[in-house]
Amino acid sequence: MTDTHDNAAHPADAVLRLPLKALGLRSGMALQTRRLAEGATKIEAQFFGAIEGKGVMVGPAGSDATQTEMTQGDVCVVRGFTGQHEFSFISKVLQTFEKPFAYALLAYPALVDAKQVRQSMRTKVSWPARVQLEGSDDKRDVILVDLSPQGAMVRCATPLGAVGAALSLGLEGRIDGAPLSLEISATVCHHSRPPGLESYIAGMAFKNLSREDKLALHYLTQPSPTAPG
């Protein structure tokens, strides 16, 4: 999902050159790798770790995979999303390993290309919620899977709506023991059914937030938010 920020120094579409460590990558973050060769395909991967100035450990996305699908000497482009930044860098495969698990050691990049697409990190949650498309009386139960003061992502059993569709997100909860009811206007930013899943994932950007909405979202996105219900 893309909910851009407003920053005079760095416009929303500005690509910055940043040190890799500035991105705050965490083990298990999803990546994509692709060899710089004609006809090469994208490979779903994950970040294992990095030693500054030495190397970056990247492995296959599947926990049971035994091959990295990379070869020593390959030059590849790595792409990912941290929760705030989309980033990419070009690197060379220094070595591959199969034990104790499959991974490739890539040359540590001096800088990476990064674009900030969210103002804040999303808080991972698993809360019941409901959505209603604009102009429809149909309210659907969904599961809220992440939340920020600017947007959210939900999991739904059936397709939710096209990109750009207007809807409202309803949340019920409590703040310091007092009942909380939020009805937030939003726009669908992305919608897909990930491979291997029966449910759909929809990302949305909030709009026309009231002061009360902003305060409630700030509370709900603290490190230990109180689950609605």
Q: Give the confidence band of 6 by pLDDT, cuts at 50, 70, 90.
A: very low
Cα 166 from Cα 161, distance rounded (Å): 9
Give the three-class secondary structure for 19.
coil
Q: Quick: pLDDT tens for 25-34.
A: 877 777 889 9
Q: Which of the given ranges, 73-82, 139-148, 193-202, 215-224, has the highest pLDDT on average?
A: 73-82
Cα 49 from Cα 53, distance rounded (Å): 13
Q: Is the pLDDT of residue 38 over 80?
A: yes
Closest by CA to 192, choosing from 162, 149, 150, 228, is: 162
Structural domains for the chain: 16-116 (2.30.110.10), 123-220 (2.40.10.220)
What pLDDT, on the 0 to 100 scale, is given for residue 117? Answer: 67
What six digits make up the tokens of 223?
């490190």
Of residues 35 and 146, more confidence is placed in 35
Closest by CA to 199, choosing from 150, 161, 151, 142, is: 142
Can you tell me the mean pLDDT for 192-203? 75
Q: Quick: pLDDT tens for 67-126.
A: 788 899 999 999 988 767 789 999 999 999 887 788 999 999 999 999 876 555 455 667
Count other Cβ atoms within 10 Å, centred on residue 139: 12
Closest by CA to 205, choosing from 163, 142, 156, is: 163
Pairing outcome for strands 85-97 and 139-147: unpaired
Cα 207 from Cα 135, distance rounded (Å): 17
pTM recorded for the entire structure: 0.51
Are 171 and 158 contacting, i.e. CB atoms less than 8 angstroms apart? no
Give the three-class secondary structure for 36.
coil
Give the three-class secondary structure for 14.
coil
Q: Quick: pLDDT tens for 173-183.
A: 766 777 788 89
